[in-house]
A and B are shown apart, each in its own frame.
Chain A
Amino acid sequence: MGQVVALDSLLHSRQVWQGRAAPVPATTQPTGWPALDAALPTGGWPEHAMTEILLPADGVGELQLVLPTLARLTREGRPVVVISPPYVPYVAGWEARGVVMSGVDIVQADEQDVLWAAEQCLRSASCAAVLAWPVHADDRSLRRLQVAADTGKALAFVFRDRRHAVQASPAALRLELESTPAWQVRVRKCRGGNPPVGAVPLASGWS
């Protein structure tokens, strides 16, 4: 305790967190869900980064969450890649939500190639958004995707089972979908701010 350190020097060395985060610039990628946009610190999807979406089961509205974004991107003529989806994308349903299907590449990859394909697409910088359903993804491989999304300036959406929620994740945004009692989404982690405490209810609708 003999050494006295001046407070100023400590603060200037930027090793002390002062609790005021730098303001995060607003994103240009709104989610299409006003309630969710309001809850996220950037006001939409984190740009050039990975978003992890955790699901309790298949078919609980995970596509509804991203389809407004895909519709906006494909209408602007920007390509979207869907890598090894669990089911066949049904064109009529996607088109009803405004997606231009000619701009969507559906890639069939084996389990071990999903992450490779996703990384290639993200890194190429010619895809606006990449959706992937990896079966086995560890912290390292997800970090690679995050870096690739940053390099390629693309939106990455990774859909995984809810049981992976306990794992740490390098994703910039982590959402957990809940279908009961109502359709809502919980923000587990978000870069640039504290996650909102409660769940964000989304307007339920199947059509």
Chain B
Amino acid sequence: MLWACILLPQLALDGVLRRRPPSDEPLVLVSGPAQARIVHAANVPARAAGIYRGQRLIAAQALLQQFEMVEHDAEDEARWHRLLAAWAYRYSAEVGLYAHAVVLEVSRSLNLFGPWPRFESLLRDDLQELGFRHRVALAPTPHAAYVLAGVQDGLAVVAPEMLRDALSPVPVARARLPVEATQGLPSMGIRTLGQVFKLPRAGLQRRFGAELVAQIDRLTGDEPTPMDSYRPPDAFEQRMEWTHEIEHVEALVFPLRRLTGDLAAYLAGRDGGVQRFELELEHRSGPPTRVTVGMLAAARDASLLFDCARGRLERLALHQPVLAMRLVARDLPPFVPAGRDLFDTRPVNAVPLEQLRERLRARLGEQAIRHLHRTVDPRPEKAQSDMAHVKAATKPETLPRPTWLLDTPRPLRGPPPDVLAGPERIETGWWDGGDIRRDYYVVRTSQGQCAWVFCAPGEQGGWMLHGWFA
């Protein structure tokens, strides 16, 4: 077994930062009761000014005149944590959640994604894209990976016999042992894990309880680690909230890109697609504005989802400022990737046809794209259909048929035309009340157009134009 641990040192802060466009303004997360507010996290510009985690808010305000304050929301942080677990599920079937970290079993994933250095950079690229600061470590036990990730970024221990050597220099304070041991051991002069390993187990157990010994056994792999494996939920729901009101649709584009990106990461994790999802824009009062985004086929490409949602959103007129946006996807059908020809000659930057269709439908309307097929009905009005359930004709049409059809026939104006062919009588449709009785002719007009016209049976006049042989 090999476990990768992804430590997320700034989970709460990243969760806040990623919902707003990148900026250099100092920003601080605050928590604690109203009388004793403390800094929960600070971004880079705020830290440069001397603000640190755990500082009193009053002290921070003395250091820096103006910075943005956001209330820390533990529930929000947990949501990001679960999102990252869903993302990690893409790479491994066994994913566990530790405080501020995600661990995943990767020994079998390496067969699929390549050796660890390549796999590691894959993980890092994804996290970079999602906008989370991270530290990654690899070890034969999940707990060891968790400890090593806290000590040094990028540490990888592959062989189990090397694990003790790698863990030995780790200070006790950072070994994530039970609290009383973390406090008690240094006062006994024991400062590193290597020294702890050398101590007699019986004495350790008597002094600090069975929990510490079990923890050390799990750390070194002498005992298996019990783990609640993460299972992704069957629906996706993500919400973004702002401290200010957003009045223009354009300002929603950046958060929307994040939301659809998260949805794509989640879908990739469970190897599914989405065909229909909803955007809810929450206002100060009144019901939320709902935008339904539907696609022709299940999709999971981040840029496609973003394109579709953006097209729908841009057509929206906002009546009230938006306070929060929620993306809900309940219907998650299996995703069937479109095959692409090995010898495809299209340029690399080509937009796939499916994505193009979605883009057109997003702006022009749901019914903008039609595929017509011929039906078995002989009546010209019903001889073709774009409904998939209408049966298609299999025998080729042998009679002359025009290339343009008029939606509704109209009288043919101008001087009398020359008859080129005809008549062809179409007399049918008695079964559904739409019966017709017409003689169809091919005529040439004085302008030189070939027209498909009909008149009452037995007559040659009173021409009704029904199509062009264009």
Contacts and interface: CB of A to CB of B under 8 A. Distances in A.
* Shortest beta-carbon contacts, A-B, top 3: A59-B468, A179-B448, A125-B350
B450 interface: yes
B382 to A, nearest CB: 12
Interface centre among A92, A96, A108, A110 (most CB of B within 10 A): A92
Contacts of B403: 63-64, 67, 89-90, 93-94, 97
Interface stretch (A114-122, A135-143, A165-173, A191-199): A114-122
Given A58-B470, A59-B450, A206-B469, A92 B383 contact: yes
B374 A91 contact: yes
Interface stretch (B42-50, B100-108, B229-237, B404-412): B404-412
B374 A95 contact: yes
25 contacts: A57-B449, A58-B470, A59-B469, A63-B403, A64-B403, A88-B372, A88-B384, A89-B404, A90-B380, A90-B401, A90-B405, A92-B374, A93-B403, A93-B467, A101-B371, A107-B360, A108-B365, A108-B367, A124-B356, A125-B350, A152-B347, A153-B346, A153-B347, A206-B420, A207-B421
Interface centre among A58, A67, A104, A124 (most CB of B within 10 A): A124
Interface residues of B, number: 49
B447 A60 contact: yes
A79 interface: yes
Interface string A67-106: 1000000000001000001111111111111000110111
A33 to B, nearest CB: 15
Contacts of B188: none
A34 interface: no
B17 to A, nearest CB: 33
A107 B350 contact: no
B383 A87 contact: no
B390 to A, nearest CB: 12
Given A90-B384, A91-B373, A94-B403, 8 more contacts: A86-B404, A89-B372, A92-B397, A101-B372, A104-B372, A125-B347, A126-B350, A206-B450
Interface residues of A, number: 52
Contacts of B450: 59, 61, 206
Interface of B: 346-347, 349-353, 355-357, 359-360, 363-365, 367-374, 380, 383-384, 396-397, 400-407, 420-421, 442, 444, 447-451, 467-470
Interface of A: 56-64, 67, 79, 85-97, 101-102, 104-110, 113, 116-117, 120-121, 123-127, 152-153, 178-181, 183, 206-207
A60 B449 contact: yes
B258 to A, nearest CB: 25
A125 B396 contact: no
A190 B463 CA distance: 40
Contacts of B448: 60, 178-181, 183
Given A57-B447, A87-B468, A207-B400, A117 B371 contact: no
Contacts of A91: 372-374, 383-384
Contacts of A86: 404
A71 to B, nearest CB: 12
Contacts of A101: 371-374
B397 A96 contact: yes
Contact of A110 (B360, B364, B371): B364
A92 B376 CA distance: 11
Contact of A120 (B356, B383, B401, B447): B356
Given A116-B363, A125-B349, A179-B449, A93 B402 contact: yes
Contacts of A62: 470
Nearest to B349: A125
